């Protein structure tokens, strides 16, 4: 526990106790009634025997006796006080009276004769008052200082001992090459200065969320071993106009004093959005902050040793002045990883995981197209949590499959009960998707089919491309639409009825069809881009789309979209009508087993029934893809060129 925190927590309680004690003392004093008597009055009462209690305190400096006590008939809170000359004669009278009357008699020492007691009585209360005043004053000054600290930069210096290096960044080979020059410059700037090279002042990292932009920036600082200041774009913007600009100035002032160094601004779009997009003065603070940021970046001297790295998911909304040469000179796109990159990322996150023998990172990378680095880390973590929950010693493919489903669709709703009719509808719907995927040459490979509800879906069909492509052909897009419409077509063919279960399929199919007509030029309207995202950033660029066509062309666009959807739906119905037995086989098997894997579907298509436990382990019954995977795990050379019989023979050895 931090000692400073403890002290700060005890001080207020200590002063509160002192104040309470002072209040009690004050009220006690106020309730006391003191009767001041003259010397003659006191002597008269003493002769009459009215004294019941007497306390004498000699005051040598004043040559007096201060006498307090009580008389007969006094109340509990009532006393008397009298001063008498300091002499032996007076003391003798008091002693004689005590012997006659026998009252309580006490003589106390003079407190002024003890220096320690004098300090306690006179100095300590003063110190307490001064301390209380100082405490209250410091609190007020501290609050005032905080209010005056608005203009100070909130950039934090990274002092983490476990620094991130390029070894911790996987799947970003080209991106790391782009930023290696920054590390060389920070380590050895003279090498660049000899040839007159100007290192980029700023590097903008942009790409989808979770792809490793922040991690890459931390790795640059870790490799260069220089001070690393990090701040979020939202930390610049405050309620008061001008505070953000002051923070920008202070941040660059700190950086210049600690050069060479790195400044990392995360989510720079919070402060760097395009200017002039608001109404009135609502954006004055943000725009002034952006203006100051532009000025500071442009005011850098050449090779000053300060490099800014910024990250954003929305480079399209940034102000053009930020992206011009001299500011963010270099822009690095951090895309989603390919299959090789996913395998490298999985290897990094699997360092502290215990994987079973059947789990290979290569196969897992192939099963996760479109996953970002953060998704892959979450996938392995979910699999590890499931393994712990199931009391297993290692992570098996069962946990990996379940974790994949959780990441994509959410946890399974096993407790949610559906009617038999609903289960049958879902089974035939998903079987329709599966049959289309199996029968179309360019369709995605069916990896898994399930009717167990997850999220808002009653079931789902996991289909991934056989190989990752940079560009999609018209045939690819048409077959993707056909696959999406397979569920509705199956419902209509089997039940002569349609349901609401295909609404998400229609949403995706319509989006692809519209893009084919208006953006990709894949219709009878020709190679024209008729629709594009709007350049207006007032409400965000995705809210509206600019229309570069007339109402007549809009009608033609709707006609072309309808032609694409109708032709794909017709093809889906034809395929399902030709394969009704397969559709029924997959649907009925789904009703019994609820979930089918790729290997089980391949066996079902080939043999017309589910494999037994012995057959699942029979090499001759396995698919060619499964045999190649097993051959690779065992390290068999040349397995990729072998046929099924050769693979079985090699695996039997």
311 neighbors 267 (Cβ within 8 angstroms): yes
Task: Give me the residues paired with residue 51 across strands.
Answer: 71
Taking residue 204's Cβ as centre, other Cβ atoms within 10 Å add up to: 25
Q: Which residue has the tokens 């699997």?
A: 350
- Cα dihedral 429, 432, 434, 436, rounded to 10, equals -150
Q: Which residue has the tokens 């100035």?
A: 249
Q: Is 592 assigned a catalytic role? A: no
Tell me if the bond preceding 260 is cis, omega within 30° of 0: yes
Distance CA 222, CA 161 (A): 10
Distance CA 321, CA 310 (A): 15
What does each C-alpha distance from 152 to 249, 440, 516 come to in angstroms? 9, 63, 52
232 is written with which tokens? Answer: 């979020």
Distance CA 621, CA 609 (A): 12
Q: Which residue has the tokens 């519209």?
A: 514
Burial, 64: exposed, middle or buried (Cβ in 10 Å; 0-12, 13-18, 19+)?
A: middle
Helices 474-495 & 580-593 angle (0-180, nearest 10): 80
Q: Which residue has the tokens 């526990």?
A: 1
Catalytic member of 267, 285, 402, 430: 430
Q: Which residue has the tokens 């990392």?
A: 264
Closest to 296 measured CA to CA, from 257, 246, 332? 246
Catalytic sites, residue numbers:
430
């Amino acid at each position: 526990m931090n000692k400073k925190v403890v002290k700060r927590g005890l001080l207020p309680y200590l002063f509160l106790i002192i104040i309470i004690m002072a209040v009690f003392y004050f009220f006690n004093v106020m309730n006391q009634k003191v009767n001041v008597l003259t010397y003659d009055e006191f002597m008269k009462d003493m002769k009459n025997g009215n004294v019941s209690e007497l306390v004498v305190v000699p005051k040598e400096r004043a040559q007096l006796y201060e006498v307090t006590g009580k008389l007969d008939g006094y109340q509990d809170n009532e006393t008397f006080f009298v001063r008498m000359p300091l002499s032996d004669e007076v003391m003798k009278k008091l002693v004689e009276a005590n012997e006659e009357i026998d009252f309580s008699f006490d003589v106390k020492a003079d407190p002024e004769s003890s220096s320690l007691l004098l300090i306690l009585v006179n100095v300590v209360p003063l110190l307490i008052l001064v301390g209380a005043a100082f405490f209250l004053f410091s609190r007020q000054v501290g609050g005032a200082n905080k209010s005056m600290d608005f203009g100070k930069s909130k950039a934090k210096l990274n002092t983490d001992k476990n620094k991130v290096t390029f070894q911790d960044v996987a799947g970003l080979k080209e991106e790391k090459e782009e930023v290696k020059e920054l590390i060389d410059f920070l380590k050895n700037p003279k090498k660049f200065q000899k040839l007159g090279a100007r290192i980029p002042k700023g590097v903008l990292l942009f790409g989808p969320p979770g792809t490793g932009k922040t991690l890459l920036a931390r790795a640059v600082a870790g490799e260069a071993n220089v001070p690393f200041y990090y701040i979020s774009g939202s930390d610049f913007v405050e309620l008061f106009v001008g505070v953000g600009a002051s923070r920008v100035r202070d941040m660059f002032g700190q950086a210049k004093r600690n050069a060479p160094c790195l400044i990392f601004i995360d989510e720079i779009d919070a402060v760097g959005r395009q200017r002039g997009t608001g109404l009135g003065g609502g954006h004055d603070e943000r725009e002034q902050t952006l203006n100051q940021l532009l000025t500071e970046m442009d005011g850098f001297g050449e090779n000053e040793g300060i490099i800014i790295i910024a990250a954003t998911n929305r480079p399209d909304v940034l102000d053009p002045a930020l992206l011009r040469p001299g500011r963010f000179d270099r822009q690095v796109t951090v895309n989603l990883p390919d299959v090789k990159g996913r395998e490298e990322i999985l290897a990094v996150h699997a360092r502290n995981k215990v994987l079973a023998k059947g789990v290979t990172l290569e196969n897992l990378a192939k099963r996760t197209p479109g996953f970002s680095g953060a998704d892959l880390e979450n996938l392995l973590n979910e699999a590890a949590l499931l393994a712990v929950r199931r009391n297993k010693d290692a992570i098996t493919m069962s946990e990996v499959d379940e974790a994949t489903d959780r990441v994509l669709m959410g946890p399974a709703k096993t407790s949610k009960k559906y009617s038999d009719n609903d289960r049958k509808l879902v089974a035939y719907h998903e079987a329709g998707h599966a049959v289309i995927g199996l029968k179309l040459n360019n369709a995605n490979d069916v990896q898994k089919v399930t009717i167990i509800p997850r999220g808002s879906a009653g079931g789902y069909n996991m289909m991934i491309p056989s190989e990752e492509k940079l560009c999609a052909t018209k045939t690819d897009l048409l077959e993707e639409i056909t696959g999406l419409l397979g569920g509705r077509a199956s419902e209509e063919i089997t039940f002569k009825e349609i349901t609401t279960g295909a609404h998400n399929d229609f949403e995706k199919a319509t989006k692809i069809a519209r893009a084919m007509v208006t953006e990709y030029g894949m219709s009878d309207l020709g190679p024209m881009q008729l629709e594009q995202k709007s350049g207006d950033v007032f409400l965000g660029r995705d809210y509206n789309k600019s229309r570069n066509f007339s109402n007549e062309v809009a009608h033609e666009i709707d006609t072309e979209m309808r032609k694409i959807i109708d032709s794909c739906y017709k093809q889906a119905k034809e395929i399902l009508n030709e394969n009704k037995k397969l559709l029924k086989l997959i649907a009925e098997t789904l009703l019994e087993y609820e979930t089918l894997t790729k290997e089980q579907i391949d066996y079902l298509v080939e043999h017309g029934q589910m494999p037994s436990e012995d057959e699942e382990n029979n090499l001759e019954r396995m698919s060619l893809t499964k045999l190649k995977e097993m051959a690779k795990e065992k390290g068999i050379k040349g397995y990729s060129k072998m046929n099924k019989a050769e693979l079985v023979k090699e695996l039997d050895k």
